[in-house]
Amino acid sequence: MRAMILAAGLGTRLRPLSLEIPKPVIPVLGQPLCGHAMEFLHEHGAESFLMNLHHGPDTVREKVTAWAADRFPVEFLFEPEILGTGGGIGNAAEYLRGRTFVTANSDAIARFPLGEAVARHRASGALATLVLFPDRWNRYTPVRVRQDGRVSGFGGTAPSGAFEGFYTGYQIAEPELLARIPRGRPSCIVRDTLIPLIAEGAPVCAFMTEGVFLDFGSPEDYLRGTLALLTERGGRQGPGSFVHPRASIGNGATLGPGAVVEEGASVGAGATVRRAILWPGAIAKPGALVENGILTPRGFVPA
């Protein structure tokens, strides 16, 4: 199975952080953000990856290539003009055609029974299957699903007897879907491809599940998601701390709870870091207090 990581956005909601490092490769516990999705997909059968790029393509290519070197092959496709979630997938048709493929967004970390989702997709004969989670926060556009598992629409309220969830960005699809994506212009996979297919009665299905879903779209989401991963690693007692082996920690520094010190960051003697992320090259000065945000080489971003 091949996988495509959608990574050609501008990262507008993550600014000013994404002006320093493109969103797909912001550091998350010692690896690029997109690497978490790629590892998850690889564990569930994805053999190789394609990433579409636009903002900061050289940086993304360099960081992903270095990180993935001994893991799996990754190819890159540069978009001079952002083609959107539909156009980006359509532009990758040469790579994706020929077998079932999966697509995922680069700015979220999710874990769920993907193997079961792929099996259900193939058994149902679906053209595309969207992975949905319950939206307990009422944060996302609802996806309406019929009792037979087919998607009936987006937005609004599910009719009686049906159910709804939010689209995680994970899609399992057959290569025949590629022919239905508008070519030669930017497009949205939902608005311009899936909704017309649903109107025609094509088998667009949903796999409703639960698990971990962490959105890294904004600085607040980034800090919250990183701390959630720390809590997951450290148990129910709360977030501990992460210090990269190639970070520098001064004498008497206090780390945590929720301190994340990435590769090449430096914490001065007597400084305190809690509920904060230090980026590569960031320096917490001796005796300083860094909390509730992200410290980068350019400055501090509250979160």
pLDDT tens readout for residues 118-130: 999 999 999 999 9
| Residue 31 CA: distances (Å) to CA of 25, 36, 301 | 8, 8, 20
Question: What predicted TM-score, i.e. pTM, was given to this entire model?
Answer: 0.91
Q: Binning pLDDT at 50, 70 and 90, where does residue 204 land?
A: very high
Positive or negative CA dihedral for 12, 16, 19, 25? negative
Q: Is the pLDDT of residue 113 over 50?
A: yes
Q: Give the residue, 106 or 161, on which the prediction is more confident.
A: 106
Give the integer Cα–Cα distance in Å for 269 and 303.
24
Give the integer Cα–Cα distance in Å for 76 and 52.
6
b/e burial code for range 22-45 (CB count within 10 A of at least 16 → b): bbbbbbbbbbbbbbbbbbbbbebe
pLDDT, tens digit (0-9, with 9 covering 90-100), for 243-263: 999 999 999 999 989 999 999
Average pLDDT over residues 76-97: 93
In degrees, to the nearest 5, what angle opens at C-alpha 110 toward C-alphas 104 and 113? Answer: 95
Q: Give the residue, 110 or 11, on which the prediction is more confident.
A: 110
pLDDT, tens digit (0-9, with 9 covering 90-100), for 156-190: 765 555 678 999 999 999 999 999 998 878 999 99
Q: Is the pLDDT of residue 275 over 50?
A: yes
pLDDT of amino acid 237: 43
Place of tokens 């980006």: 88
